[in-house]
Amino acid sequence: MKARFAAQLLSDERGADAVAVADRLLAVQAQDLRSARLAVRARTRGLSAADVDRALTHDRTLVIGWLNRGTLHLVRREDYWWLHTLTTPQLFTGNARRLEQTGVDARAAKRGLAAIERALTDEGPLSRDQLREHVDRARVPTAGQALVHLLMLACLRGLAVRGPLVGRQHAYVLAYDWLGTPPQVDRERALAQLARRYLTGHAPADERDLAKWAGLPLRDVRAGLGAISAELVQRDDGLLELKRSATRGGPRACLLDQWDPLLVGWRSRAFLLGDYPRRGSAEAHFRPFAYVRGRAVATWSLRGGVVGIDEPFTPLTKREHGQLAADAGDVTRFFSGA
């Protein structure tokens, strides 16, 4: 599965900037902004966290919203609306159930959405904490996860999106103000686009990998893959890739954060975590891992700007230790802006 590292820009080829990374991967899981920034770092050269924030804040070339699987994702602005059209309709039922569980019924949710829209229209961009004050004044519960699910509903409705950084806070804005009027989306073409773009950044993969990643039923995924069948090659192992595949090359030694696209891009993580002693535990979903030769070899942490790499759980050569140490230094550089 080392070809997946090449598809993910973790081999010889790297992206020119944050937008190029989002273009290749289509969507980067981003409920933790640090993780999304680090996903970009690992796939570029010389970029800083400030460069990613600039794309979100000043260039408006990247945005974050609840898309695939009902999780926050970083995407290019031109990909937002068609992905929104494809991947959000099936999320409303679960969102309504979670709102009910937090004490927000349909009438309260309507008041909350109206309060969010008024606040963003009059005062936006606004952080989550600033929006909480407006929703509280509308007598809508915000305790626990209530506000998060209400903000998710605002994004699902196409009302809001996470756009700029205001100070250290990631702020919400009106989606149609920040991104423009939503275009008409042809569903068949969008499904074909989804299949093509997913394989560009994740091949080799199969239909079930795409279905899980996008949060779509298999019938939709099969329709998308069928629409681009002339562009596909089926490998001997049954996995699919595009005839025009990504640049090849061996996997780079690198540090990737929790929820990195490499860790959440397919149904199985076995090809990555075969040496990890706790690979069957829930923590395998979100641990930061160091990778060498296309396998996770250690966990790592970033505290107070200092990178710490834990004792490897598989033997490494002196050269490989040096490669990981060099990438750790680049993590520090990335956040320092040097």
Q: Please enumerate in sequence order all residues whose Cβ is within 8 A of that of 120, keeping only pairs 6 or more positions apart, or say none.
A: 126, 131, 160, 172, 173, 174, 177
- Confidence class of residue 16 from pLDDT cuts 50, 70 and 90? very high
Structural contact between residues 261 and 68, judged by C-beta atoms closer than 8 angstroms: no
Long-range contacts of 294-302, Cβ-Cβ distance < 8 Å, separation of 24 or more: 294/1, 294/2, 294/5, 294/250, 294/251, 296/272, 298/324, 300/255, 300/328, 302/34, 302/331
> Residue 62 corresponds to which tokens in the numbers above?
């990247």
- Which tokens go with 242? 């595009």
Looking at residue 19, its amino acid is V
Residue 2 clears pLDDT 90, i.e. is over it = no
When pLDDT is cut at 50, 70 and 90, the band that residue 314 belongs to is very high
What is d(CA 92, CA 308) in angstroms, rounded to the nearest whole number? Answer: 41
- Non-local (6+) Cβ contacts of 315 within 8 A are none
Span 254-279, mean pLDDT? 92
- pLDDT range class, residue 120, cuts 50, 70, 90: very high
Whether 77 shows a pLDDT value over 90: the answer reads yes
What 3-state DSSP class applies to 172?
strand
Coil, helix or strand at residue 27 = coil
| pLDDT for res 305 | 86
User: What pLDDT does residue 317 have?
Assistant: 97
The model's confidence at residue 124, banded by pLDDT at 50, 70 and 90, is confident
Residues whose CB is less than 8 angstroms from the CB of residue 208 and which lie 6 or more positions away in sequence, other chains included: 218, 267
When mean pLDDT is compared across 94-98, 225-229, 282-286, 289-293, the lowest value belongs to 282-286
Strands 169-174 and 160-166: antiparallel
Q: How does residue 13 score in pLDDT terms, banded at 50, 70 and 90? A: very high
pLDDT at 246: 59
Whole-number average pLDDT of the chain: 95
Return the minimum-mean-pLDDT range out of 134-148, 244-258, 321-335.
244-258
